[in-house]
Amino acid sequence: MENNKKKIGVIFGGRSGEHSVSLMSAKFVISQLDPEIYEISLIGITRSGVWYSGSDVLEALIKEDDRNLEPDAYISSLLGNAKYDIKAGELIEHLKGLDVLFPVLHGTFGEDGTLQGVLEIEDFAYVGSGVTGSATGMDKAIFADLMVANRIPIVDTVLILRSEISEQMANVIKAIEQISYPLFIKPANLGSSVGISKVKDRSELIEGLLDAAQYDRRLIVQKGHNVREIEVSVMGNDKPIASVCGEILPGEEFYSYEAKYHDETSQAVIPADITEEQSNIIRTYAVKAYRACDLAGLARIDFFIDKDSDEIYINELNTMPGFTKISMYPQLWEATGIKNQDLVEMLIEYAFERKMQRDSIKRTFRRDE
């Protein structure tokens, strides 16, 4: 009997600080893939960067997180079978047997354009943005500059290098304190609120800089406003569309990692209780930012509404947003009328569309043509 199922490889884990979040997202995405339509191949990457494939890999990585064991030794001893261990020379051939890849990877080495570069070189169809979009969406400092260039309002932002913190702390503090407290300190290239802190004075500033510098060599410091946190989901390629808006009511002082994934007091209000005019402005800015960064497939874009002035600011975007059952990206689309299973299938179709666009590009040039 002929097998007409599409072969899809779901990639998860990775060397990022968001490794654990990736596993949660992958579990949800896999649960939404119809086994009647897709033949699913699971591809897990350990914290040390070793790739494995096999039906038990996701659960193996999840248990490794729980037990805090060394990934290589643990997976080898748990699976105990060479078929799960993809050697470097065999990796590309393994992936080439698949029709499309769904890299459910958050943060560095997965969402920042590095993996996308490999997939582009090998000419794979894959879900999500390409090299340029992934890189510009990941680096919050570059993203801020792009928003300024495209006249999309963003809060005051200062870029700090880790080397400057260790060598010129006094100058760093002087530059930052031109913006009044409170301030937010963020690694430039991480998501899920990893390494982010809100600081209200100089001692907290120094502590926050040192903490964030553990996660990246580039940091941003942004002016803290008294805000409402509004999020919108976007999907598509050349003609992106935006979902309804949702509001985050964090159980903590701001929407931290704990508030996102472990604190049940945080709430999502969907649709957000904002005016139609505010909703239209935010959704228009979201699509404009999506295009400005050359995104594809999907993104969640976060905004602030200043409680005192009603000014709207873009905060950041995520080119591979959290995809757990409590994540805003799928919840916003569900509220817009798109069910989770349909959403995942649409993202896969956008991947094939993007591949067709790449295939139509002429790769040779001669003067006599």
pLDDT of residue 290: 98
CA separation (Å) from 135 to 132, 217, 276? Answer: 5, 15, 32
Please name the residue ranges forming H helices in the chain: 19-31, 57-67, 71-79, 88-96, 114-121, 131-138, 140-149, 162-167, 169-176, 202-212, 257-261, 276-292, 328-336, 340-359
Predicted confidence at residue 82, as pLDDT, reads 45
Would you state the pLDDT for residue 191? 59
Instruction: Give residue for tokens 């000419």.
Output: 123
Three-state secondary structure call for residue 26: helix
Count the neighbouring beta carbons within 10 Å of the beta carbon of residue 180. Answer: 9
Res 259: pLDDT? 52
According to CATH, what is the number of the domain 156-223? 3.30.1490.20
Give domain 6-127's CATH number out of 3.20.20.70, 3.40.50.20, 3.40.50.1370, 2.60.40.2240. 3.40.50.20
Q: pTM of the full predicted structure?
A: 0.86
SS3 content of the chain, % helix, strand, coil (to 5): 40, 25, 35
- Cβ atoms of 156 and 222 within 8 Å: the answer is yes
Instruction: Say how far apart CA 296 and CA 316 lie, in whole Å.
Output: 16
pLDDT of residue 74: 42
Burial of 114 (0-12, 13-18, 19+ CB in 10 A): middle
Strands 197-199 vs 183-187: parallel, antiparallel or unpaired: antiparallel
Show the low-confidence residues of the chain (pLDDT under 70). 1-2, 65-91, 190-194, 251-265, 368-369
Roughly what angle, to the nearest 10 degrees, separates helices 140-149 and 276-292? Answer: 110
Q: Which two tokens stand for residue 49?
A: 């960067």
What is the CATH code for 226-338? Answer: 3.30.470.20
Q: Where in the chain is the domain with CATH 3.30.470.20?
A: 226-338
Helix (H, G, I), strand (E, B) or coil at 42: strand
Q: What is the pLDDT of residue 52?
A: 82
Q: What are phi and psi of 14, to 5 degrees?
A: 95, 175
Those residues whose C-beta lies under 8 Å from the C-beta of residue 334, and which sit 6 or more positions away, are 340, 343
Instruction: Please give the pLDDT value at position 193.
Output: 65
Cα(321)–Cα(299) distance, rounded to whole angstroms?
Answer: 6
CA distance 81 to 54: 10
The span from the CA of 369 to the CA of 366, in Å, is: 6
What residue ranges of the chain are covered by domains with CATH 3.30.1490.20?
156-223
Supply the pLDDT for residue 51: 83
Q: Give CATH 3.40.50.20 domain extents, the chain.
A: 6-127
* Token pair belonging to 288: 């404009």
The confidence score (pLDDT) of residue 49 equals 83
pLDDT score for 72:
46
Note the pLDDT tens digit of each residue in 46-71.
888 888 888 888 988 888 754 444 44
Distance CA 251, CA 266 (A): 4
